[in-house]
Amino acid sequence: MSDIITLDITEPNKEYIIKQFNGGRGFINRIESLGLHINQIIEKKAGSFLGGPIVVKTGHLSIAIGRGMARKIAVEKVLK
Amino acid sequence: MKVLLVGNPNVGKSVVFTRLTGIHVISSNYPGTTINYTSGFTKINNEKVEIIDVPGTYSLKPSSKAEKVAVELLKDGDIIINIIDATNLERNLCLTMELLKLGKPMMIALNMWDDTHHRGITIDAENLQKILKIPVVPTIAVSGFGIKELSDLVFKLSPPDIKKISETNKWKKIGIIINNCQKLKHKHHTFIDILSDASVKPITGLPIAALVIFLMFKIIRIIGESIIGYVMDPLFNNFYMPLITKLGAILNKTGFLHNILIGKLIEGEIDLIQSFGVLTTGIYVPVAMVIPYIISFYLLLGIIEDMGYIPRLAVLLDSLMHKIGLHGYSIIPTLLGLGCNVPGILGTRILESKRERLIAAAGISIGVPCTALQAMIIGLLAKYGFKYIALVYFSLFIIWIIISFTLNLLLKGFSPELLIEIPHYRLPLIQTVLKKLYIRVKEFIVDAIPIMLAGVFIVNILYYFKVFDIIANISSPVLKRLWGLPKETIVAITVGFLRKDTAVAMLIPLNLSPGQLVKVTVILSIFFPCIATFNILLKEFGLKDMLKIVSIMIIVTIITGCILNLII
């Protein structure tokens, strides 16, 4: 379990799997309706700049997520 | 009967709408182009059917005003056509599941079907139809593929037969559907993918953004000036001017009618800019000076909209925009405001909170000059050198930042974080870009030119009754002492309430120094919105907030005038 980190501090261009959303129902609804869900594999494409959003990619979908929200998303590195 | 086109943002609903009804609406490559609904009628099986283009929504639990509009519309629709971006099946099905629960007759249009092939996606549409128990039609809205099947099916739909899906089971169910209906082939990174990543990474993205903005301004000016120099000026000089001169001669060069239609003679000659008659300045300014820039601005805006670049700009600028209480996505209404403040203020509907909308709208109506105004400012100041134009833009930019920053401190609440989908880059289709340009230019002609002609007419009447003399005398202490401007400029500032471009045209005969011109054009830009903007602020925010914005505007104008007077 110690390998679980938050999305904002992941390494770019490496695959991670979403483990948990640490937020209220409203937050989870918004995140899920944009297409992110538990057990999904994502890759960070751009890191935060001056506290700005990070960009993640999953399949053919790119999503920009504010850093505060990214901190609420727990992920685990996919081992190859 | 009402047929609703429902789907996630940016899946091509508006294009399907155009295909079904023949009515052209603006579409772009970013989520949230349709912020209000458009409806149109079409005949299917000889029966009149109302088609409604619902603003895109990710979920039926709305998080912005545009999404609220969508949810409201769903209440009294009869049939749902759920439009899905076939390249993002999994995410799009999330909304589909929510829609199915409504129990209304429904079908799915798997749009952007052609895109799936070159992205290595294979979707088994028949199987999808079997699992969901509703018709699934592959479509390519931009080319019209599949649209006929959609309209053929409208009267054959029955309510969906799907058992209640709980929230927790939703993704499991979607997962099963995806496993059964979709196959992905791994594709190597293409140039577009690399560019896509580079344009959101700060280190490469910021230089790209600077280059894009610089090139946009450069190209807008080149196209605008070329249309003026090669099309409008020859047309007006060779064809229009002789007609007007003849009319002047018929009217004996004097009298009330001459004053209204042709205006004053400048050194014994008719001057299309300065004479200020309905048929001289009233026609020349909008047609020959403003429309060329309207065309070039909206052409370029249309191209970068359809490419999908703007959301990337929003991501890059997000952290900076947060410092002034906005998030990056407010760059979209702000850019639209550079064309005309009215669609800009309407565009704030994509923002989540009222607070953000108010900050963005105040910033747009005060600090963002529309293309018509910019065209006139450039036309007026270009001969004195680029630095004066730059000074106007710089002042407006600073004012925009200060206003947003102050409102951010004053208004309660905080600005939510950015959470947006970044669309794929697409090569803009020439037809859609030109169609969009046509809609926007037509809107300008229909909305702006009548006001402009009426404005020139009213101003001439007021001149005739010497109303402006009274206003000028009353306001001269403020103008002279605080702002260092001659009292005649008040006429232009007053006319700015009708149209700002007409107002700038009125400054030309006053022989102001370049410094005075900078001051007065900045004041004109920020002081009081033009009548169209005023109206839209009232409609969107109500009397109380509109008055708030207007009072900020007046205070800012007085202070700015004083500061500029001290500096220049």
pLDDT given for residue B158 in this prediction: 84
Would you place residue B290 in the very low, low, confident or very high pLDDT band (cuts 50, 70, 90)? very high
CA distance B264 to chain A (A): 56
Would you place residue A79 in the very low, low, confident or very high pLDDT band (cuts 50, 70, 90)? confident
CA distance A39 to chain B (A): 10
Would you place residue B288 in the very low, low, confident or very high pLDDT band (cuts 50, 70, 90)? very high
Under DSSP, is residue A47 helix (H, G, I), strand (E, B) or coil? coil
B118-122, B158-162, B393-397, B541-545: the lowest-pLDDT one:
B158-162
CA distance B482 to chain A (A): 40
Number of helices and strands (H, E) in chain B?
26, 9
Dist CA A15 CA B57 (whole Å):
28
Dist CA B521 CA B480 (whole Å):
16
pLDDT above 90 covers a percentage of chain B that reads: 61
- Which DSSP string do the residues of B484-547 spell out, in sequence order? ---TTHHHHHHHTTT-HHHHHHHHGGG---HHHHHHHHHHHHHSS--HHHHHHHHHHHHHHHHH
Q: How far is CA B401 from CA B324, B369, B396, in A?
A: 7, 14, 9
pLDDT given for residue B23 in this prediction: 81
Complex-level ipTM: 0.93
B520 HSE (CA, 13 A, CB side) = 36
Under DSSP, is residue B364 helix (H, G, I), strand (E, B) or coil? helix
Average pLDDT of the residues in B245-272: 90
E strands, B330-453, in order: 419-422
Does pLDDT of A2 surpass 60?
no
- Tokens in use for B451? 């006001």
pLDDT given for residue B39 in this prediction: 86
C-beta atoms of B59 and A67 within 8 A? no
Greater confidence, B25 or B409?
A: B409
CA distance A33 to chain B (A): 5
C-beta atoms of B119 and A60 within 8 A? yes
Provide the mean pLDDT of chain B.
90
Greater confidence, B500 or B25?
A: B500
Would you place residue B503 in the very low, low, confident or very high pLDDT band (cuts 50, 70, 90)? very high
Written in H, E and C, the secondary structure of B58-91 is CCCCCCCHHHHHHHHHHHCCCEEEEEEEHHHHHH
Dist CA B76 CA B53 (whole Å):
14
Chain A CB contacts of B88 under 8 Å are 35, 59-61
- Which DSSP string do the residues of B271-324 spell out, in sequence order? -TTTSB-TTTHHHHIIIIIIHHHHHHHHHHHHHHHHHT-HHHHHHHHHHHHHTT
Considering just the CA atoms, what is the radius of gyration of chain A in Å? Answer: 11
Average pLDDT of the residues in B183-207: 87
B190-194, B277-281, B356-360, B381-385: the lowest-pLDDT one:
B190-194
pLDDT given for residue B464 in this prediction: 84
Dist CA B333 CA B346 (whole Å):
8
Q: Which residues contact B31 (CB under 8 A, 6 or more apart)?
A: B8, B9, B10, B56, B311, B350, B420, B421, B423
pLDDT given for residue B66 in this prediction: 78
Would you place residue A25 in the very low, low, confident or very high pLDDT band (cuts 50, 70, 90)? confident
pLDDT given for residue A77 in this prediction: 94
- Tokens in use for A52? 């700005």
Position A1, amino acid: M
Dist CA B480 CA B356 (whole Å):
37
pLDDT digits (tens, 9 = 90+) for B369-390: 999 999 999 999 999 999 999 9
Contact yes or no for B492/B471 (Cβ under 8 A): no
Contact yes or no for B55/B36 (Cβ under 8 A): yes
Angle, CA B309 vertex, CA B306 and CA B63 arms, to 5°? 90
Average pLDDT of the residues in B169-196: 87
pLDDT digits (tens, 9 = 90+) for B401-454: 999 999 999 888 888 889 999 998 988 989 889 989 999 999 899 988 898 899
pLDDT given for residue B222 in this prediction: 95
DSSP B425: P
Angle, CA A9 vertex, CA A7 and CA A13 arms, to 5°? 80
- Tokens in use for B37? 């609904």
DSSP B480: I
pLDDT given for residue B37 in this prediction: 79
pLDDT above 70 covers a percentage of chain A that reads: 98
- Which DSSP string do the residues of B208-254 spell out, in sequence order? HHHHHHHHHHHHHHHHHHHIIIIIIHHHIIIIIHHHHHHHHHHTTT-
pLDDT digits (tens, 9 = 90+) for B76-124: 899 999 999 999 999 999 999 999 989 999 999 999 999 998 888 999 9
β-strand pairing of B419-422 with A61-65: antiparallel
Q: Which residues contact B278 (CB under 8 A, 6 or more apart)?
A: B260, B261, B453, B456, B457, B460
Chain A CB contacts of B119 under 8 Å are 60
Would you place residue B352 in the very low, low, confident or very high pLDDT band (cuts 50, 70, 90)? confident
pLDDT given for residue B224 in this prediction: 95
Written in H, E and C, the secondary structure of B171-209 is HHHHHHHHHHHEEECCCCCCHHHHHHHHCCCHHHHHHHH
Greater confidence, B14 or B126?
A: B126
Q: Which residues contact B145 (CB under 8 A, 6 or more apart)?
A: B113, B114, B138, B139
pLDDT given for residue B26 in this prediction: 75
- Interface residues from chain B to A (CB-CB < 8 Å): 58-59, 61, 63, 87-88, 90-91, 94-95, 119, 121, 171, 184, 196-197, 200-202, 205, 311, 314-316, 318-320, 322, 327-328, 416-422, 424
Would you place residue B163 in the very low, low, confident or very high pLDDT band (cuts 50, 70, 90)? low
Contact yes or no for B12/B417 (Cβ under 8 A): no
Per the document, the length of chain A is 80
Does pLDDT of B528 surpass 60?
yes
Q: Which residues contact A65 (CB under 8 A, 6 or more apart)?
A: A7, A31, A53, A54, A55, A56, A73, B417, B418, B419
Does pLDDT of B30 surpass 90?
no
Dist CA B427 CA B309 (whole Å):
11
C-beta atoms of A30 and B59 within 8 A? yes
Average pLDDT of the residues in B148-176: 84
Does pLDDT of B5 surpass 90?
yes
pLDDT given for residue B279 in this prediction: 95
Contact yes or no for B447/B532 (Cβ under 8 A): yes
Average pLDDT of the residues in B349-374: 92
Average pLDDT of the residues in B48-67: 87
C-beta atoms of A52 and B311 within 8 A? no
pLDDT given for residue B272 in this prediction: 93
> How many contacts, defined by CB atoms under 8 Å, are there between A and B?
109
Average pLDDT of the residues in B493-514: 90
Nearest to B299 by CA among B223, B400, B411, B395: B223
